[in-house]
Structure 1
């Protein structure tokens, strides 16, 4: 195709121009062609330009295999570049924006009255897409804001768990009786401490024992009663029993009911008149079928010995009173103490002196220590 200046314009030059590869002279030829209208031509420059535009848009989306890894052609940027160059009229002319035709019958206040079509530039793809993408970003930002606000309100509405106050009861020189929040009763032996919450949880009752205590647990199958004693745990539903845990060794003796005695990975079930001891050094639980009634003496207030070896009598006195009573020699270990009981005992001195006088032995005292002496068992 040729213009009135006799300058031929072909598709290859237009494609070269759209790709931004023309020299100044070639750019000027294209610019002049775009600015002229030839009424006698069968196809005006506008229609021809639209055809070139379609070719340009199609070519911009195609890439030869050797260029698959290159960045895609930025068509919008090319149009903007050509448009600015056309407006400045510089020697390096850029392509104009696409045109649209407004017919005379369409009203346009800004256009002069004429029978000729009015030419307007079309908005670029970027200009058309920008409002849509802008709307997407606005929606996304709003969602983030609403989500963040919802999280903030939810976080502030959540109430922090209220820590239940912990209480403790201790005993020093005598047995102490205490009623727990659930109605269970505890008798603490001398030198013992029990920690428990002011209000038990909805699904359990947890206490911590250091020393020795006798428990009468109020039955409640929905809320197991657990005692943490050193490395061991005693769990019951409703029963009476004694737990001794002055050191790492723990002893449990059951008076009524049934308990589960567990330490580390070992456990044993105890019923009435059974007891077991956890030996921390051997890491084992030893169970005894017979329970010595004197293990409950600090609770019952009664001590009873019937043909009991003197070594066991001394051991019981030490456990009940948390005392330091010793035999002067091994010859006294197997001497039997029989048929004497103590009711509502008051002091360790009374028990030690009664036992010694009954067996014809002497008592020597060194501070808080009591030493029972003698040459042998009485006849």
Structure 2
């Protein structure tokens, strides 16, 4: 089970109530930024905050009966009205915090064991409890229960991952990110979630893409469609990039591809900053590349591109520049 320090839970509670001081907000932000698992935990607690009311209703708690017991104990007080008001105000302040803590405890009870997988050094394959297959790209993090409950199958993702979901109409498969919920209505797709946007590419089946900030904003994404969700909303395009899964397959294909697009693909695959210089892009005919690379080191790829496109490359600070010889 993922453990959360008590003082962090209290800071998150204050944050969600809008009562966090500037100094405490900085402390909480530092804790969230320490690693991706902390950010995933914060999101789970945020969800508990939103759902704790409905969760606690299931415990059979009788608020009126509880207040009656308090009133009975105050009945012999000389200043019953004043004391009752003060006591209720104090108790209400405590109850808000108790609801959150109780909601978190109940949430943990319902989800007694969570797995947290981090792809720190390389891509990592993950088999979920229902047999669904996930490939995490290096840098991605996935949180999921050791056993899915009887209603839904739900995971939380940061970074990029490929999903092949087992079909089970009776148990919806949900993927949570910072800004979206994705309900799987099909089988295979890739998701990339980062600070700026969520990206979804569907290969087979379909996925319901829902915004968390605008609950009315929803899109069903079909095979060979590419959808992004930013602060401006959804944008859906036809998927025509043959290299969108190159990080998983290790294969990069170029077919008469302009050198600026080649640079973009290589930058994404090798996690480097690669681009053509301005003079190269001003040529009457932009150099193109037709080639296939299979898990080759970047130096080998650059050498082959140099021969194929009759261009050179040089390192300039942290950037690899293509330029005309």
SS of the residue aligned with 1:295?
A: coil
Alignment correspondent of 1:362: 312
Equivalent of residue 208 in structure 1, options 141, 146, 156: 156
Correspondence for 1:269 = 220
Deviation of 1:241 (Å): 0.4
Give, in whole Å, the separation in 2 of the partners of 1:303 and 1:321. 11
Distance 1:302 1:203, change over 3 A: same
2-structure distance, mates of 1:375, 1:198: 55
Residues 238-247 or 331-340, more deviating: 331-340
Where structure 1 has 5 or more consecutive residues not aligned to the other structure, the ranges are 1-143, 145-158
With over 3 angstroms needed to count, the CA separation of the structure-2 counterparts of 1:194 and 1:240, relative to structure 1, is same
Structure 1 position 371, deviation (Å): 1.3
Task: Give 1:308's aligned residue.
Answer: 257
More helix by share: 2
Distance change in 2, residues 1:184/1:287 (3 Å): same
- The residue that corresponds to 2:3 in the other structure is none
Instruction: Tell me the CA shift for residue 184 of structure 1.
Output: 0.7
- TM-score for both structures, normalised by structure 1: 0.52
Cross-structure match for 2:25: none
- Residue 374 of structure 1 aligns to a residue whose secondary structure is strand
Whether the 8 Å CA contact 2:111–2:145 is kept in 1: the answer is no
Where 1:338 maps in the other structure, the secondary structure is: strand
What secondary structure, in the 3-state scheme, does the structure 1 residue paired with 2:203 have? strand
1:219-234 alignment, distance < 5 Å: 219-234=167-182
Q: RMSD across aligned C-alpha pairs, in angstroms?
A: 2.5
- Once residues 202 and 117 of structure 2 are traced to their aligned partners in structure 1, the CA distance between those partners, rounded to angstroms, is 23
Alpha-carbon distance, 1:168 to partner: 1.6
SS in 2 for 1:220: coil
Specify the alignment match of 2:22 in structure 1.
Answer: none
Residue 302 to residue 222, structure 1, CA distance change in 2 (3 Å): same
Corresponding position of 2:188: 240
155, 158, 176: which one pairs with 2:124?
176
State the Cα distance separating 1:306 from its structure 2 match. 1.1
Is the 1:230–1:248 contact (alpha carbons within 8 Å) kept by the matching residues of 2? no
CA shift digits 1:51-82 (9 cap, x unpaired): xxxxxxxxxxxxxxxxxxxxxxxxxxxxxxxx
CA contact (8 A) 1:327 1:373 kept: yes
Report the counterpart of residue 120 of structure 1 in structure 2: none
Using CA pairs under 8 Å that are at least 6 residues apart, name the structure with larger relative contact order, 1 or 2. Answer: 2
How high is the TM-score relative to the length of structure 2?
0.60
- Distance of aligned partners of 1:164 and 1:214 in 2 relative to their CA distance in 1, 3 Å threshold: same
**Contact kept? 2:253, 2:291, Cα under 8 Å:** yes
CA contact (8 A) 2:144 2:156 kept: yes
Structure 1 176/332 Cα, relative in aligned 2: closer, same or farther at 3 Å?
farther
In structure 1, what is the Cα distance between the partners aligned to 2:235 and 2:174?
20
Residue in structure 2 matched with residue 279 of structure 1 by the alignment = 230
| Residues 168 and 305 (structure 1), Cα distance of their counterparts in 2 relative to 1, 3 Å cut | same
The alpha-carbon deviation at position 243 of structure 1 amounts to: 0.4
Match of 1:193 among 133, 141, 149: 141
Q: 2:238 aligns with which of 277, 284, 289?
A: 289
CA contact (8 A) 2:201 2:239 kept: no
Aligned pair count reads 215
